[in-house]
Chain A
Amino acid sequence: MGLALLAVIWLITFVSTYFFIWHPWWLPAGASAAAAGIDHQFVNTYVIMGVVFVLAQCSLGYFVWKYRDRGSAPPAEYSHGNTTMEVVWTVLTAILFVGMNLMGSKIWAAERFEPAGASAIPVEVTGMQFAWYFRYAGPDGKFGLTNPTLMDPSSGSEAAIGLDTNDPASKDDVVTGTMMLPVNRQVDLTLRAVDVIHSFFVPSMRFKQDAVPGLAIHMHFTPTQVGDYEIACAELCGLGHYKMHGMLKVVSQEDFDKWLAAREAEKQ
């Protein structure tokens, strides 16, 4: 029985570790400025936790086999513990865990403490059951007013978020169901939700943030590679949660400007 436990615990450990090392399933390829730092911290944590995992499971398997009750075995050692060892491993784990925390905190600060830069392009993201809408401020650089009483989700564009057309600043606002962004330019996001909580999750951008009714949450990220990236909702928002997805298209600045101009023209 001891040998069987040793074998099974070691087997589970090595199979799990094998899949973590071979990683057929892994973080999707990063395509934003923050991805490298986050991934680096992830891999560090992963290696440290992996080593602890293998050591702990292997010792567990080894001990139950090695110290199994055998007729000829010496009696169990009569010991109530060892204070020196307790202190040593307490201090070691404390250093390890606090150290890991401090290593990661710089990235968090860069992502969340600093506001977006002055040259960032403002985009407002609005979540509602079960779609994402994206608003661009247009040439005036200002978002017009919205009014909850004007919301018409069936329209699929400006009226969906209740844009108040009487406000001059709203005249050139463009609302779309697909997110377009110029590559290598920071985006200054304003996240809103109109009905329940949603969460704006773009795995390839290493970006996630809840959109909460009643709050306008400011965030930023910088896409670094041209391409199409799926947007998911990561917060349970109702029966259509699984199909509340969108698409982020990262294009060159030139293509972006063309696209926005075309949308403006369409609107006039």
Chain B
Amino acid sequence: MATSEVVHAHVAPQGFIRKYIFSLDHKVIGLQYFFLALTAVWVGMILSLFMRIHLIWPDANLPLIGHIQPEAYLSLLTMHGTIMVFFVLTTAPQGGFGNYFLPIQIGAPDMAFPVLNMLSFWTTFVAFVIMLASFFVAGGAPLHGWTGYPPLSALQSAGPGEGLGADLWITSIAIFCAASLMGALNFITTTLDLRAKGMTMMRMPLTVWSWFITAILGLLAFGVLLSAGILLLMDRNLGTSFFLPVVVVNGQMTAHKGGSPLLWQHLFWFFGHPEVYIAILPGMGVASQVLSTFSRKPIFGYRAMVYAMLAIGFLGFMVWGHHMFMSGMSPYSAFAFSLLTMAIGVPSAIKTFNWLGTLYKGRVRFYSPMLFAIGFVSLFVSGGLSGPFLAQPTLDIPLHDTYFVVGHFHLIMGVAAIFGIFAATYYWFPKMFGRMMNEGMGKIHFWLTFIGTYAIFMPMHYLGMAGHPRRYSQLTELAYLHPLIPVQKFMTYAAFITIGAQLIFVFNLFWSMFKGAKASDNPWDATTLEWTTATPPPHDNFGGHTPVVHNGPYEYGVPGAARDFVMQTDPAIGASH
């Protein structure tokens, strides 16, 4: 429960460095995370564009990097996946928007541990620098994929990039894990201890629930990856054999014996599957918040939404084996993992039904955040429905490690999560920067991105069905891939258009920061606490007072109320809420 009295931990700093660089203010730290993720997403996107160019024009000479070799393609692929998963999908929704808005939405002046918060950002920053550094060392970035399966990732001799580049890659991820653990502790403590008077758990906005559950997942998952990363570093550098049996590479026998490559897969996916939900849960929270606001209707089934997220988080820890149906793991355990994975479809379906239920009989207003939230629901459905294919071990026989999987996880964990980030950006930008983003540019950005991402990722399912393996740098070797090259070309053209559309977003973002129309304190007529305070919020969030909460988070269209929305701090509208 919320504790009796909250004293703000620090006064507003005056110097530039303490104010903007080593700031303790959760809002500044949130922005730092946001801009880190924005940088990372451009790196990740450019890498993917190089990959798509190489796939269809293998002999192309590109600016900066020249001719892409097959091993360089694998480095691009590894770094694209790693940067996107860790430094974008984990960093932006949780570190960025979670940091900025979780304290404000629960009526707290800051995070529970501001110094830890600062440390967590700067540790993430160091991890990012080390990750990028792996491009510039001898041998370049590793080629073992973002999943880093040993022995490929454990032996220098297994390929270019598996020398210093791979050590830097593992080190970066280990540091990132430590940073995320700090962040997770902070989010959990803040949510449990710093809620304003009247902000019961069941009055928290669904965004807060999503960040809170994501933090719990992070706390349990990142520790496992951190340990696995340290073991892998030891195998590489100290002669241990946690993941290495007797192996012969290029005719040379290594000194390792007795280890198990499957052990890494278990540890990695014990982290890796919850990581999927770490990426998507905040998107679910934002979609719920935005759909309710712009439908002018309470969210459909608030409690069901909370329970569904808890169920997804809980089940998310028991399904990691579905990544390993073809790995040589016991076929009997596949049966259990499959059943539990199917079970996770149930809370996911509940969420979809409830989003549709929220739109039903609403009064839908089409502002940019709402367009991206609607896009989120569409992509969540499309990406989600290929899940039950892959959850069945029988169907993994033809589909595992093909483009079908690539299409599946890009739609749901990549694009849907990114649409959550876009919705959050358009929705909260006025509060963060005091100005509105340009609606016209926002809408063009939405249409191009929505259609473009479908055009890139939907055809991947067809390729996967035809047996197209993933992570192939050239499509000329297997004869049965030749007829699929036109589809690959189409996807590359779509990628050009979609990435081009992101220039509109970035332009809009920076243009609106300085030239956008001035935003009022509550431009969307929304109900949660961030809209009760000044724009942008003062250093202590609420200008010296602590809000008192009387209502649930989504009271729109309340019969008899003066306006079509009742804010959380307005007088209580009735005992039943």
Partner among B143, B298, B360, B564 whose Cβ is within 8 Å of the Cβ of A67: B360
- Let me know if B394 and A236 touch, CB within 8 A: no
- Let me know if A195 and B151 touch, CB within 8 A: yes
Least Cβ distance of A113 to chain B in Å? 6
Q: Which residues of the other chain, A, contact B546 by a CB distance below 8 angstroms?
A: none
Q: Which residues of the other chain, B, contact A85 by a CB distance below 8 angstroms?
A: 353, 357
Given A107-B394, A111-B394, A236-B144; A25-B345 close (CB under 8 Å): no
Given A67-B360, A162-B248, A242-B472; A78-B298 close (CB under 8 Å): yes
Q: Which residues of the other chain, B, contact A197 by a CB distance below 8 angstroms?
A: 149, 151-152, 261
Q: Which residues of the other chain, A, contact B357 by a CB distance below 8 angstroms?
A: 81-82, 85
**A267 on the interface (CB 8 Å rule)?**
no
Considering the complex of A and B, which 5 residue pairs feature the smallest CB-CB distances, nearest first? A214-B245, A203-B467, A112-B331, A81-B301, A239-B71
- Let me know if B304 and A77 touch, CB within 8 A: no
Partner among A78, A129, A232, A242 whose Cβ is within 8 Å of the Cβ of B557: A78
A53 to B391, CA, bound (A): 17
Chain A contacts to B: CB under 8 angstroms: 1-2, 4-5, 8-9, 12, 16, 19-20, 23-28, 34, 37-38, 41-42, 45-46, 49, 52-53, 56-57, 59-60, 63-64, 67-70, 73, 75-83, 85-86, 89-90, 93-94, 97-98, 100-101, 104-105, 107-109, 111-113, 128-129, 148-149, 151-154, 162, 194-197, 199, 201, 203, 206-210, 212-215, 217, 230, 232-243, 245
Partner among B70, B361, B454 whose Cβ is within 8 Å of the Cβ of A12: B454
- Let me know if A241 and B473 touch, CB within 8 A: yes
A207 to B326, CA, bound (A): 10
Q: Can you report 19 A-B residue pairs in the complex whose CB atoms are below 8 A from each other?
A: A42-B395, A53-B381, A56-B385, A60-B381, A80-B298, A81-B298, A94-B346, A101-B392, A111-B331, A195-B247, A209-B326, A213-B247, A214-B246, A232-B469, A233-B469, A236-B471, A239-B143, A239-B160, A242-B70
**B572 on the interface (CB 8 Å rule)?**
no
- Let me know if B74 and A149 touch, CB within 8 A: no
Please name the residue on chain A nearest to B558 by beta carbon. Answer: A78
- Let me know if B356 and A56 touch, CB within 8 A: yes
**B251 on the interface (CB 8 Å rule)?**
yes
**B193 on the interface (CB 8 Å rule)?**
no
A166 to B357, CA, bound (A): 74
Q: Which residues of the other chain, B, contact A23 by a CB distance below 8 angstroms?
A: 462, 465
**B230 on the interface (CB 8 Å rule)?**
no
- Let me know if A25 and B356 touch, CB within 8 A: no
Given A49-B389, A101-B391, A194-B247; A201-B469 close (CB under 8 Å): yes
Given A49-B388, A97-B343; A104-B394 close (CB under 8 Å): yes
Q: Which residues of the other chain, B, contact A112 by a CB distance below 8 angstroms?
A: 331, 334, 393
User: Restricting to B465-492, which residues have a CB under 8 Å from any CB of A?
Assistant: 465-467, 469, 471-475, 477-480, 484, 487
- Let me know if A27 and B250 touch, CB within 8 A: no
**B441 on the interface (CB 8 Å rule)?**
no
- Let me know if B400 and A81 touch, CB within 8 A: no
Given A112-B334, A212-B261; A241-B391 close (CB under 8 Å): no
User: Restricting to B137-173, which residues have a CB under 8 Å from any CB of A?
Assistant: 143-145, 149-152, 155, 158-160
Please name the residue on chain A nearest to B341 by beta carbon. Answer: A101
**B398 on the interface (CB 8 Å rule)?**
yes
Q: Which residues of the other chain, B, contact A98 by a CB distance below 8 angstroms?
A: 339, 342-343
**B520 on the interface (CB 8 Å rule)?**
no
Q: Which residues of the other chain, A, contact B533 by a CB distance below 8 angstroms?
A: none
Q: Which residues of the other chain, B, contact A240 by a CB distance below 8 angstroms?
A: 70
A45 to B390, CA, bound (A): 10
- Let me know if B360 and A148 touch, CB within 8 A: no
**B24 on the interface (CB 8 Å rule)?**
no
A46 to B389, CA, bound (A): 8
Query: Interface range on chain B: under 10, 10 to 19, 20 to 34, or 35 or more?
Result: 35 or more
Q: Which residues of the other chain, B, contact A217 by a CB distance below 8 angstroms?
A: 328
Among B244, B300, B363, B473, chain A packs the most CB atoms within 10 A around the CB of B363
- Let me know if B402 and A68 touch, CB within 8 A: no
Given A69-B363, A77-B361, A196-B247; A97-B398 close (CB under 8 Å): no
**B60 on the interface (CB 8 Å rule)?**
no
- Let me know if B397 and A111 touch, CB within 8 A: yes
Q: Which residues of the other chain, B, contact A45 by a CB distance below 8 angstroms?
A: 388-389, 392, 395
- Let me know if B343 and A199 touch, CB within 8 A: no
- Let me know if A49 and B386 touch, CB within 8 A: yes
- Let me know if B70 and A239 touch, CB within 8 A: yes
- Let me know if A209 and B364 touch, CB within 8 A: no
Interface with A: B371-379, B412-420, B423-431, which one?
B371-379
Q: Can you add 8 more A-B contacts, CB < 8 Å, to A25-B462, A53-B381, A76-B556?
A: A9-B378, A12-B378, A46-B389, A57-B378, A69-B366, A129-B250, A152-B251, A236-B149
Given A8-B450, A42-B398; A203-B480 close (CB under 8 Å): yes
**B327 on the interface (CB 8 Å rule)?**
yes
Q: Which residues of the other chain, A, contact B249 by a CB distance below 8 angstroms?
A: 129, 195-196
Please name the residue on chain A nearest to B253 by beta carbon. Answer: A148
Given A76-B362, A101-B391, A104-B395; A27-B342 close (CB under 8 Å): no
**B354 on the interface (CB 8 Å rule)?**
yes
Q: Which residues of the other chain, A, contact B8 by a CB distance below 8 angstroms?
A: none
A27 to B253, CA, bound (A): 39
Q: Which residues of the other chain, B, contact A37 by a CB distance below 8 angstroms?
A: 394
**B296 on the interface (CB 8 Å rule)?**
yes
Least Cβ distance of A4 to chain B in Å? 8
- Let me know if A60 and B334 touch, CB within 8 A: no
Given A152-B251, A239-B143; A90-B381 close (CB under 8 Å): no
- Let me know if B144 and A5 touch, CB within 8 A: no
- Let me know if A76 and B295 touch, CB within 8 A: yes
- Let me know if A242 and B327 touch, CB within 8 A: no
**B522 on the interface (CB 8 Å rule)?**
no
A212 to B296, CA, bound (A): 55
- Let me know if A153 and B74 touch, CB within 8 A: no
**B297 on the interface (CB 8 Å rule)?**
yes
Q: Which residues of the other chain, B, contact A237 by a CB distance below 8 angstroms?
A: 152
Least Cβ distance of B121 to chain A in Å? 32
- Let me know if A81 and B152 touch, CB within 8 A: no
Given A27-B398, A212-B327; A89-B350 close (CB under 8 Å): yes
**B559 on the interface (CB 8 Å rule)?**
yes
**B401 on the interface (CB 8 Å rule)?**
yes
Q: Which residues of the other chain, A, contact B477 by a CB distance below 8 angstroms?
A: 242-243, 245
**B569 on the interface (CB 8 Å rule)?**
no
- Let me know if A25 and B466 touch, CB within 8 A: yes
Interface mask (B535-569 → A, CB under 8 Å = 1, otherwise 0): 00000000000000000000011110000100000
Q: Which residues of the other chain, B, contact A5 by a CB distance below 8 angstroms?
A: 366, 371, 374
Given A8-B450, A41-B394, A206-B398; A78-B359 close (CB under 8 Å): no
Partner among B332, B398, B478 whose Cβ is within 8 Å of the Cβ of A245: B478
Q: Which residues of the other chain, B, contact A235 by a CB distance below 8 angstroms?
A: 149, 401
Q: Which residues of the other chain, A, contact B388 by a CB distance below 8 angstroms?
A: 45, 49, 97, 100
- Let me know if B398 and A68 touch, CB within 8 A: no
Given A80-B298, A197-B261; A104-B401 close (CB under 8 Å): no
- Let me know if B248 and A86 touch, CB within 8 A: no
Q: Which residues of the other chain, B, contact A93 by a CB distance below 8 angstroms?
A: 345-346, 349-350
- Let me know if A89 and B251 touch, CB within 8 A: no
- Let me know if B364 and A2 touch, CB within 8 A: yes
- Let me know if B378 and A28 touch, CB within 8 A: no
